[in-house]
Amino acid sequence: MKNKLLLLIIFSAFVNIGVFAKTSNFIASNQYTLVVEGYDWGPAVSKVILELDAPTTNADFKDYTVSVDRSSDCVTIPENQKNGSRTVVFAYVSDPQGNRVKEGSNITLVLSVAPNLPIGSPFQYSTGGKCRGNQWVTYQVTVTDTKTNKVWNKEKSRIRPLVDDFDLTGKYEYEAGKTMSYAAFTPKKKASKAPLIIWLHGGGEGGYDPTITLLGNKAANYASPEIQAYFGGAYVLSPQCPGAWMHDKDGKTQPGSGEDVYNIGLMALIKEFVNKHPDIDTKRIYLGGCSNGGYMSLKLLLKEPNYFAAAYISALAYQSQYITDQQINSIKHIPIWFLHSKEDNTTKPDLTVVPVYERLKKAGAKNLHFSYYDHVTDITGFFGGENYYYNGHWSWIYSHANTAKLDYDGKPVLLNGRPVTIMEWMAAQAKK
């Protein structure tokens, strides 16, 4: 009897140890995934996807609070932008990628975003210090379920719509020991020959992380299904300058008065990319950029007037006084669409785009367009529409969103007698 009792005690102990081990190996998840999307004003954390301990069919946005801490050892963040709360506007049951499902082990929180909510941005713009321009910051999120007091405070991964469709590993050695990074998008569906859209970033997106060139402003949108549809599928190439496209050999910005140190290497990068992708239609290579990138776009047109099929240039930084009449005549055959704002105090239109446009017109340019805005405004209508003014320098918004459609005279740009947008127009351009 004693032996049986002893065996029963030992057996019970092993069972309990097994149960305890099984229980102790289970760790409740406190992980989340951030969704970072590009907007007209730049990137924002738009969603947080929570991992649950068990499947659910219900989610109520009122049950959750979200707080954020933004920090960096590289750029200075203003005190009032270092931490704060995010507003949850909706919640739904989802899969781990944020796709809505009836029953799932994740809940996606949709967060309020706006151009005047810097706490929502994973970027910080810096004009000095160790880092210059747009830089990623450490973006720490803490989510609390106010009903259960459960907390999520460990980032598992990130989802970046459109940006994640690019190959971000591109490197090109433009001089011995010096490289340029670049992002490249390959269309999922394309004809036997596909066009190439090239985007050159502004002065705030230089460095060695091409995600910044795609998110500093909404440049990743050239890979969107809406824009891709006009081209029947197009490659997108976004080179990244280590510094700024307008820098001379001493690192000083010149507006066309001198020689920058990047145009030769950049052109070599473009040609190598085209050579490595023989299915690119060399009669349909399109070049565009904003501000610094607008300068470089015009620079490459002047250097290689027979290489590109068309150009789309916003916030042009190249000053007209440094362009000769001979150079103007050399590019008058190239289809070009300029975008600029009268309020642009960074690249002043009276020194740049207005005289360049007028000189091209006078020289006989036939396929030349210029969308000239009084202000750069909210094109979504969510933040005030025409009454909400962005920085007057940001005219590239109308290019990325493909809303530019009016010419210098205020009338619609026509293609075969029909009004078109800038991307619809560009997709129709081809070298003869």
Residue 1: per-residue pLDDT = 45
Would you give the DSSP letter of residue 413? P
What's the mean pLDDT in 183-192? 92
Residue 189: per-residue pLDDT = 86
The pLDDT tens digits of the residues spanning 10-19 come to: 444 444 444 3
The pLDDT tens digits of the residues spanning 228-257 come to: 999 999 999 999 999 999 999 999 999 999
The pLDDT tens digits of the residues spanning 121-155 come to: 999 999 876 788 999 999 999 999 999 999 999 99
Residue 28: per-residue pLDDT = 73
Is residue 271 scored above 90 in pLDDT? yes
Is residue 303 scored above 50 in pLDDT? yes
Is 268 strand, coil or helix?
helix
- The answer to whether 105 and 55 have CB atoms below 8 angstroms apart is yes
Residue 258: per-residue pLDDT = 93
Distance CA 370, CA 159 (A): 36
Q: Ramachandran region of residue 402, left (φ > 0), alpha (ψ -120 to 50) or beta?
A: left
Residue 401: per-residue pLDDT = 98
What's the mean pLDDT in 298-312? 98
Question: How does residue 27 score in pLDDT terms, banded at 50, 70 and 90?
Answer: low
Residue 120: per-residue pLDDT = 98
Question: How does residue 8 score in pLDDT terms, banded at 50, 70 and 90?
Answer: very low
Residue 323: per-residue pLDDT = 98
The pLDDT tens digits of the residues spanning 351-380 come to: 999 999 999 999 999 999 999 999 999 999
Q: How far does Cα 260 stand from its chain's mean position?
A: 25
Distance CA 91, CA 170 (A): 37
State the chain's mean pLDDT as an integer: 93
What's the mean pLDDT in 306-335? 98
Partnered with residue 368 across adjacent β-strands are 336
What domains can be seen in the chain, in order of their start residue? 31-159 (2.60.40.2180), 163-427 (3.40.50.1820)
